[in-house]
Amino acid sequence: MTYMSGNSKIAVITGGNGGIGKSIAKSLLRDKFSVILGDLKNEVVDTAREISQEMSGEILGMKVDVTDFLSTVEFFKNIKEQMPYGKVSVLINNAGITRDSTIRKMTYEQWDQVMKVNLYGAFNCTKQVVEDMIGNNFGRIINISSISRYGNRGQANYAASKSGLVGLTLTLARELGKYGITSNAISPGIINTEMIATIPADILKDYEKKIPAGRLGTPEEVAEVISFLCSDKASYINGEIINVNGGFFF
Protein backbone atom coordinates (compact mmCIF):
# COMPACT_ATOMS: atom_id res chain seq x y z
CA MET A 1 0.00 0.00 0.00
CA THR A 2 1.35 3.42 -1.03
CA TYR A 3 0.11 6.20 1.21
CA MET A 4 -0.30 9.73 -0.03
CA SER A 5 1.82 12.16 1.85
CA GLY A 6 -0.37 14.18 4.17
CA ASN A 7 -2.72 16.92 2.93
CA SER A 8 -5.77 16.91 5.20
CA LYS A 9 -7.96 18.58 2.54
CA ILE A 10 -9.39 15.67 0.56
CA ALA A 11 -11.79 16.10 -2.36
CA VAL A 12 -13.60 13.19 -4.02
CA ILE A 13 -14.93 13.56 -7.56
CA THR A 14 -17.09 10.90 -9.18
CA GLY A 15 -17.36 10.65 -12.95
CA GLY A 16 -13.64 11.27 -12.98
CA ASN A 17 -13.01 10.20 -16.57
CA GLY A 18 -15.29 12.86 -18.04
CA GLY A 19 -14.32 16.30 -19.24
CA ILE A 20 -15.96 18.15 -16.36
CA GLY A 21 -14.56 15.71 -13.79
CA LYS A 22 -11.03 16.16 -15.05
CA SER A 23 -11.35 19.94 -15.07
CA ILE A 24 -12.66 19.94 -11.51
CA ALA A 25 -9.70 17.80 -10.45
CA LYS A 26 -7.24 20.26 -11.94
CA SER A 27 -8.90 23.24 -10.27
CA LEU A 28 -8.93 21.58 -6.86
CA LEU A 29 -5.33 20.43 -7.20
CA ARG A 30 -4.43 24.05 -7.85
CA ASP A 31 -6.37 24.91 -4.69
CA LYS A 32 -4.14 22.50 -2.72
CA PHE A 33 -6.62 19.68 -2.24
CA SER A 34 -5.62 16.04 -2.40
CA VAL A 35 -7.94 14.62 -5.05
CA ILE A 36 -9.55 11.24 -5.53
CA LEU A 37 -11.08 10.56 -8.93
CA GLY A 38 -13.70 7.82 -8.95
CA ASP A 39 -15.15 6.20 -12.04
CA LEU A 40 -16.64 2.92 -13.22
CA LYS A 41 -13.96 2.58 -15.88
CA ASN A 42 -10.48 1.37 -14.94
CA GLU A 43 -9.04 4.12 -17.13
CA VAL A 44 -9.57 6.51 -14.23
CA VAL A 45 -6.25 5.30 -12.81
CA ASP A 46 -4.48 6.46 -15.98
CA THR A 47 -6.49 9.68 -16.03
CA ALA A 48 -5.25 10.56 -12.54
CA ARG A 49 -1.69 9.65 -13.48
CA GLU A 50 -1.81 11.90 -16.56
CA ILE A 51 -3.12 14.82 -14.52
CA SER A 52 -0.38 14.28 -11.92
CA GLN A 53 2.23 14.58 -14.67
CA GLU A 54 0.69 17.86 -15.78
CA MET A 55 0.19 19.44 -12.36
CA SER A 56 1.74 19.32 -8.92
CA GLY A 57 -0.27 17.87 -6.08
CA GLU A 58 -1.66 14.53 -4.95
CA ILE A 59 -4.24 12.72 -7.06
CA LEU A 60 -5.34 9.10 -7.28
CA GLY A 61 -7.83 7.32 -9.52
CA MET A 62 -9.97 4.52 -8.09
CA LYS A 63 -12.67 2.37 -9.62
CA VAL A 64 -16.15 2.64 -8.11
CA ASP A 65 -19.65 1.69 -9.21
CA VAL A 66 -21.76 4.48 -7.73
CA THR A 67 -24.95 2.53 -8.43
CA ASP A 68 -23.84 -0.16 -5.98
CA PHE A 69 -24.05 0.94 -2.34
CA LEU A 70 -21.51 -1.66 -1.21
CA SER A 71 -19.10 -0.54 -3.92
CA THR A 72 -19.24 3.01 -2.55
CA VAL A 73 -18.64 1.67 0.96
CA GLU A 74 -15.50 -0.09 -0.27
CA PHE A 75 -14.43 2.95 -2.30
CA PHE A 76 -14.46 5.28 0.69
CA LYS A 77 -12.84 2.62 2.86
CA ASN A 78 -9.98 2.52 0.35
CA ILE A 79 -9.72 6.30 0.47
CA LYS A 80 -9.26 6.18 4.24
CA GLU A 81 -6.55 3.56 3.83
CA GLN A 82 -4.74 5.62 1.21
CA MET A 83 -5.15 8.86 3.17
CA PRO A 84 -5.17 7.95 6.89
CA TYR A 85 -4.17 11.49 7.84
CA GLY A 86 -7.35 13.26 6.74
CA LYS A 87 -11.06 13.08 6.05
CA VAL A 88 -13.05 13.80 2.94
CA SER A 89 -14.04 17.45 3.17
CA VAL A 90 -15.38 17.85 -0.37
CA LEU A 91 -17.65 15.54 -2.37
CA ILE A 92 -18.49 16.31 -5.99
CA ASN A 93 -21.29 14.05 -7.23
CA ASN A 94 -20.45 14.34 -10.92
CA ALA A 95 -21.13 10.82 -12.25
CA GLY A 96 -23.79 10.96 -14.94
CA ILE A 97 -25.02 9.20 -18.06
CA THR A 98 -27.67 9.70 -20.72
CA ARG A 99 -29.92 7.14 -22.39
CA ASP A 100 -32.04 9.43 -24.53
CA SER A 101 -35.36 8.35 -25.99
CA THR A 102 -38.89 9.71 -26.17
CA ILE A 103 -41.16 8.40 -23.44
CA ARG A 104 -43.07 6.21 -25.91
CA LYS A 105 -39.89 4.38 -26.85
CA MET A 106 -37.98 4.54 -23.59
CA THR A 107 -37.40 1.17 -21.97
CA TYR A 108 -37.45 0.46 -18.25
CA GLU A 109 -33.75 -0.37 -18.49
CA GLN A 110 -32.98 3.06 -19.98
CA TRP A 111 -34.92 4.77 -17.20
CA ASP A 112 -33.40 2.62 -14.50
CA GLN A 113 -29.79 2.98 -15.65
CA VAL A 114 -29.93 6.77 -15.68
CA MET A 115 -31.67 7.06 -12.33
CA LYS A 116 -29.24 4.67 -10.67
CA VAL A 117 -26.12 6.48 -11.86
CA ASN A 118 -27.27 10.08 -11.70
CA LEU A 119 -29.46 10.10 -8.59
CA TYR A 120 -28.90 6.93 -6.58
CA GLY A 121 -25.16 7.34 -7.10
CA ALA A 122 -25.24 10.76 -5.44
CA PHE A 123 -27.16 9.35 -2.47
CA ASN A 124 -24.82 6.37 -2.12
CA CYS A 125 -21.69 8.53 -2.05
CA THR A 126 -23.18 11.20 0.17
CA LYS A 127 -24.06 8.57 2.78
CA GLN A 128 -20.39 7.58 3.00
CA VAL A 129 -19.09 11.08 3.85
CA VAL A 130 -21.76 12.71 5.97
CA GLU A 131 -20.70 11.40 9.38
CA ASP A 132 -17.04 12.35 8.92
CA MET A 133 -18.07 15.81 7.71
CA ILE A 134 -20.28 16.26 10.77
CA GLY A 135 -17.45 15.14 13.04
CA ASN A 136 -15.10 17.59 11.35
CA ASN A 137 -17.69 20.40 11.46
CA PHE A 138 -16.91 21.13 7.82
CA GLY A 139 -18.00 19.84 4.46
CA ARG A 140 -18.81 20.78 0.90
CA ILE A 141 -21.26 18.64 -1.07
CA ILE A 142 -21.74 19.70 -4.68
CA ASN A 143 -24.13 17.91 -7.02
CA ILE A 144 -23.86 18.32 -10.77
CA SER A 145 -27.39 18.86 -12.06
CA SER A 146 -28.22 20.10 -15.56
CA ILE A 147 -30.21 22.60 -17.58
CA SER A 148 -32.25 19.52 -18.55
CA ARG A 149 -33.75 19.50 -15.06
CA TYR A 150 -36.43 21.80 -16.50
CA GLY A 151 -37.41 19.05 -18.94
CA ASN A 152 -36.18 18.33 -22.45
CA ARG A 153 -37.61 16.26 -25.25
CA GLY A 154 -36.20 12.74 -25.28
CA GLN A 155 -34.75 13.05 -21.79
CA ALA A 156 -37.50 12.09 -19.34
CA ASN A 157 -35.06 9.89 -17.43
CA TYR A 158 -32.19 12.37 -17.45
CA ALA A 159 -34.41 15.35 -16.59
CA ALA A 160 -36.02 13.48 -13.71
CA SER A 161 -32.65 12.43 -12.32
CA LYS A 162 -31.19 15.92 -12.52
CA SER A 163 -34.30 17.47 -11.01
CA GLY A 164 -34.06 14.88 -8.25
CA LEU A 165 -30.54 16.08 -7.52
CA VAL A 166 -31.95 19.55 -6.88
CA GLY A 167 -34.33 18.13 -4.28
CA LEU A 168 -31.47 16.21 -2.68
CA THR A 169 -29.28 19.31 -2.64
CA LEU A 170 -31.89 21.49 -0.93
CA THR A 171 -32.72 18.83 1.64
CA LEU A 172 -29.06 18.30 2.53
CA ALA A 173 -28.68 22.07 2.94
CA ARG A 174 -31.52 22.11 5.47
CA GLU A 175 -30.37 19.03 7.37
CA LEU A 176 -26.62 19.60 7.45
CA GLY A 177 -26.13 23.37 7.54
CA LYS A 178 -25.87 23.45 11.33
CA TYR A 179 -22.83 21.16 11.12
CA GLY A 180 -20.76 23.51 8.98
CA ILE A 181 -21.65 21.61 5.81
CA THR A 182 -22.89 23.34 2.68
CA SER A 183 -24.82 21.63 -0.09
CA ASN A 184 -25.10 23.26 -3.50
CA ALA A 185 -25.72 22.20 -7.08
CA ILE A 186 -24.26 23.32 -10.37
CA SER A 187 -26.61 23.34 -13.35
CA PRO A 188 -24.48 23.39 -16.50
CA GLY A 189 -25.93 24.33 -19.85
CA ILE A 190 -24.49 22.88 -23.03
CA ILE A 191 -20.86 22.24 -22.20
CA ASN A 192 -18.31 21.14 -24.77
CA THR A 193 -17.64 17.62 -23.48
CA GLU A 194 -17.85 14.12 -24.89
CA MET A 195 -21.47 13.87 -23.69
CA ILE A 196 -22.71 16.25 -26.39
CA ALA A 197 -21.33 13.93 -29.07
CA THR A 198 -24.74 12.22 -29.01
CA ILE A 199 -26.50 15.45 -30.05
CA PRO A 200 -27.03 15.67 -33.84
CA ALA A 201 -24.90 18.41 -35.39
CA ASP A 202 -27.85 20.40 -36.73
CA ILE A 203 -29.58 20.45 -33.34
CA LEU A 204 -26.35 21.43 -31.60
CA LYS A 205 -25.84 24.28 -34.04
CA ASP A 206 -29.39 25.46 -33.40
CA TYR A 207 -28.78 25.41 -29.64
CA GLU A 208 -25.57 27.37 -30.08
CA LYS A 209 -27.42 30.12 -31.94
CA LYS A 210 -29.84 30.46 -29.04
CA ILE A 211 -27.17 30.82 -26.36
CA PRO A 212 -26.85 34.53 -25.49
CA ALA A 213 -23.12 34.05 -24.93
CA GLY A 214 -22.89 32.86 -28.55
CA ARG A 215 -20.91 29.70 -27.81
CA LEU A 216 -20.79 26.46 -25.88
CA GLY A 217 -19.48 26.43 -22.33
CA THR A 218 -16.19 24.85 -21.34
CA PRO A 219 -15.53 22.31 -18.57
CA GLU A 220 -13.08 24.78 -17.06
CA GLU A 221 -15.83 27.36 -16.59
CA VAL A 222 -17.88 24.84 -14.63
CA ALA A 223 -14.84 23.83 -12.59
CA GLU A 224 -14.06 27.40 -11.54
CA VAL A 225 -17.50 27.83 -9.99
CA ILE A 226 -16.97 24.60 -8.07
CA SER A 227 -13.54 25.79 -6.95
CA PHE A 228 -15.18 28.83 -5.37
CA LEU A 229 -17.92 26.78 -3.69
CA CYS A 230 -15.25 24.56 -2.12
CA SER A 231 -13.43 27.53 -0.63
CA ASP A 232 -13.87 29.23 2.73
CA LYS A 233 -15.14 32.28 0.85
CA ALA A 234 -18.33 30.37 0.01
CA SER A 235 -19.15 29.36 3.58
CA TYR A 236 -22.49 31.22 3.56
CA ILE A 237 -23.66 29.88 0.20
CA ASN A 238 -25.91 26.93 0.94
CA GLY A 239 -28.84 25.36 -0.89
CA GLU A 240 -28.14 27.19 -4.14
CA ILE A 241 -28.62 25.92 -7.69
CA ILE A 242 -26.09 27.82 -9.77
CA ASN A 243 -26.65 28.02 -13.52
CA VAL A 244 -23.56 27.91 -15.71
CA ASN A 245 -25.23 28.16 -19.08
CA GLY A 246 -24.29 31.39 -20.85
CA GLY A 247 -27.84 32.65 -20.32
CA PHE A 248 -29.42 29.78 -22.26
CA PHE A 249 -32.58 27.91 -21.26
CA PHE A 250 -34.38 25.44 -23.50
**DSSP symbol at 190:** S
Helix (H), strand (E) at residue 111: helix 108-115
Instruction: Clarify whether 158 is annotated catalytic.
Output: yes
* Backbone angles phi and psi of 38, in degrees to 5: -115, 140
CB 40 within 8 A of CB 63: yes
Buried/exposed 140-154: b ≥16 CB within 10 Å, e otherwise = bbbbbbbbbbeeeeb
Sheet holding 241-244, edge to edge: 59-63, 34-39, 9-14, 87-93, 139-144, 181-188, 241-244
Helix (H), strand (E) at residue 2: none
Using DSSP, state whether 241 is helix, strand or coil.
Answer: strand
Give dist(CA 189, CA 182) in Å, integer.
23
**3, 158, 179, 207: the active-site residue:** 158
Length of the chain: 250
Give dist(CA 62, CA 42) in Å, integer.
8
User: How many CA atoms within 13 Å lie on the side-chain side of 6?
Assistant: 1
Q: Which residues are catalytic?
A: 158
